[in-house]
Amino acid sequence: MKFIQIIAALLVIQVALASARNAYFVFSDGTDEFTIKLTDPAKIAHARGLISGAVTDAPHINGIIVKQPAWYNPFWSFYLDSNTISFFDAAMEVCDAGINYTEEHLAEVGGALLPGNRWCPWHSRVVREV
């Protein structure tokens, strides 16, 4: 019985440590808001720097769309894969689309709209940490 309690305690610690490595941020495209999950400490620091104003370079969000909802982004039917998220100053037009437009045309994402599911909304700005 004690062995099971030790295993359960270790699992709780592991889940807590994994949660501590994640940070959630909201970005706006000027009209709508979208939540992303960051797991990389450097990207988390960059996002926090953008919010505080200490960082001004690479203010926009870029990543690969996953066409399914995420618990932390309940208003949209898609999310960005945390492993693909990066920040940019300028990007090609082919990956630019607003949040709501992307939602409304989600079935077309990956084809002519946002090839490869790459999304880089040019007007995206990190506005707060959740």
| Residue 21, phi then psi, degrees to nearest 5 | -85, -10
Per-residue pLDDT of the chain (130 residues; tens, 9 = 90+): 554 544 444 333 454 444 469 999 999 999 999 999 999 999 999 999 999 999 999 999 999 999 999 999 999 999 999 999 999 999 788 999 999 999 999 999 999 999 999 999 999 999 999 9
Q: Which structural domain, as residue segments, surrounds residue 45?
A: 22-129
In-domain check, residue 76: yes
Per the structure, the count of domains in the chain is 1
* Model pTM above 0.85: no
Measured between its terminal Cα atoms, the distance across the chain in Å is 39
Q: How far is CA 15 from the centre of its chain?
A: 20
In-domain check, residue 11: no
In-domain check, residue 14: no
